[in-house]
Structure formats: C-alpha cells, structure tokens
Amino acid sequence: MKVVCPVCKRKFATVNAAVDHIDSAHQGCCPPNITPKQWIFNVRNRLPIGTTHGKSILSGRPTQWNEKLGKYERLCDENERQEFRKVFVARMLRTYKKETLLNDPDVQKKMLQRRKISGAYKFGKDEIPYTGSYELDFIRFLDTVLDWDPKDLFMPCPMVIEYTSPRDNKVHFYIPDAYLASLKLIVEIKSEDNKHYRKRDIDIENAKDAAMAKQELAYVKIFDKDYTDFLALVNTLRG
C-alpha cells in the first residue's frame, strides 16, 4: 500500500520516504505538536489530524506516540505491560486449569535443551531474555538494525498455542519465541543447521503451523538469521 503525502497527495513506497519528502518540500505544514510521521499515521488511520495520543488496549487510557515504530503505544506503562502478561495467565487458568506449562513435555524439552545457552540482552533500559544464539541475534537485529522499541518486544511470547500432535493425537502446548505487540506479530526463530532433526519433526512443526493459522495474529518464521521474510511482513503490517 502506497503512502500518500497529506499535502500534495504524492505517493511513496515507504513512510520514511514520505516523511523525508514532507521535511524537504512542505516545511512548516505539519500540524502543531505532532511529527510528520505521526501526521501521516493520523491521516491513514482516519484519526483527527491533531491527535497526539493513542488508547491503551487494557485500560483505554492515553498512550504515547512512538516515533521509532510509527504508531501509538498499545500500553500506557510498565505496569500495564505486566498486566498484559497476567491477562494471558488468567486465560490459561480458565482454559487449562493451570498457570504454567512446566509439566508439559514440549516445554520441558525446550528448557532442558536451551538452559546452558540462555542469557539476557541489554536493550535500552530493559533486559530481554533469550534462550539461544539465534534468539540473541534476532534481538540484536531489532536493536542495531531496525532501532526497535524494546518495550514492544515480548520474549518469550506471552501467548500459549494449543495444538494436536499427529503422533499421539493428544493436545500439546506451544510457546512461540517472540511477540511484537504493535504489529500483533508472533515470531518463531529457527535453525536449519541440522536438517535431519527438522525433517524428523516436520509433522509436529506442521501441526503447530496449522494451529497458528487459526489465531487472529500475524505469524512468521525466521530461519538461520535470514530476516528477508520477516522484514517483508513487517513492512506489510506497517502498511
């Protein structure tokens, strides 16, 4: 979808290109108290031109504009960020009658495989936990390449996905690697270095993919630190 200049209606391929155009060709035209990028967002989303705040998805309170993401924050503050996680815990209690999945074989296996290579990445003022070198590379990519807002990133993903294993026809639980709240995007980070194991478990992976397809969320898998598909989807979701 093309980005239209609010002044001359010229079309651009990206928001940043439209912002550069406004800064050079339409200086002084931007409404007061908002940035050119914010102006474009308001127009594209049919908000009043002078809108300066968004609305929290939890409380409805005003949220700040995020220039990096080109969107209004979905949550007000760190307290709401923690509350966001609690919402999914409560949902698990209602659905699965338990708060954690530590007794689930898939989760145990993931924890045992990765506990020696886990750590925390200093991302702005936050520390983001990771459980492997590929996840660490993903966080570093968000930080150093995309200049992403760390408050928008949840690792691990706060959602729990239920799927039926084709091997035993029983319900299992799956915790995706990451979630970008502003885009409602779930991210799985994978390695294809050992294709034998992936080929062996492809039926399980397909079952998880089928479960993900039923979610009202965007979903992408990153293989071997190749961010091509991820970047394409991010650009699409940003519109």
What pLDDT is recorded for position 197? 60
pLDDT band at residue 106, thresholds of 50, 70 and 90? low
Name the percent of the chain lying above pLDDT 90.
41
Lowest mean pLDDT among 84-98, 104-118, 139-153, 157-171: 104-118
What pLDDT is recorded for position 96? 52
Q: Are 72 and 64 in contact (CB under 8 A)?
A: yes
Ranked by mean pLDDT, the top range of 94-98, 130-134, 184-188 is 184-188
Please determine, for residue 203, whether its predicted confidence score (pLDDT) is greater than 70: yes
Question: What's the whole-number average pLDDT of the chain?
Answer: 84
How far is 206 from 163, CA to CA, in rounded Å?
A: 10
Q: Of how many residues is the chain composed? A: 239
Please determine, for residue 214, whether its predicted confidence score (pLDDT) is greater than 60: yes
Find where tokens 């699965």 sit: 96
Whether the bond between 156 and the residue before it is cis, its omega within 30 degrees of 0, is: yes
Per-residue pLDDT, averaged over 210-236, amounts to 91
Please determine, for residue 124, whether its predicted confidence score (pLDDT) is greater than 70: yes
What pLDDT is recorded for position 89? 60
More confident residue, 54 or 174: 54
More confident residue, 103 or 91: 91
Structure tokens belonging to residue 121: 């990445």
Q: What is the pLDDT of residues 131-183, one digit of tens each?
A: 888 999 999 999 999 999 998 998 888 887 888 888 888 888 788 899 998 89
Structure tokens belonging to residue 82: 């923690």
Q: Are 66 and 73 in contact (CB under 8 A)?
A: yes
pLDDT band at residue 11, thresholds of 50, 70 and 90? very high
**CA 112 vs CA 57, 116, 151, 163, 188: distances in Å:** 35, 8, 28, 21, 18
Which distant-in-sequence residues (6+ apart) come within 8 Å of 126 by Cβ? 150, 151
Please determine, for residue 90, whether its predicted confidence score (pLDDT) is greater than 70: no
Helix boundaries (H) for 58-102: 78-96
Structure tokens belonging to residue 163: 């799927």
* Full DSSP string of 115-156: GGG-EEEEETTEEEEESSHHHHHHHHHHHHTS---GGGEESS
* Full DSSP string of 168-221: T--EEEE--SEEEGGGTEEEEEE--SSHHHHHHTHHHHHHHHHHHHTSSSEEEE
232: left (phi over 0), alpha (psi -120 to 50) or beta: alpha
Q: What is the CATH number of domain 97-238?
A: 3.40.1350
Global pTM reads: 0.66
Sign of CA dihedral 76, 78, 79, 82: positive
What pLDDT is recorded for position 6? 94
Where exactly are the structural domains of the chain?
3-72, 97-238
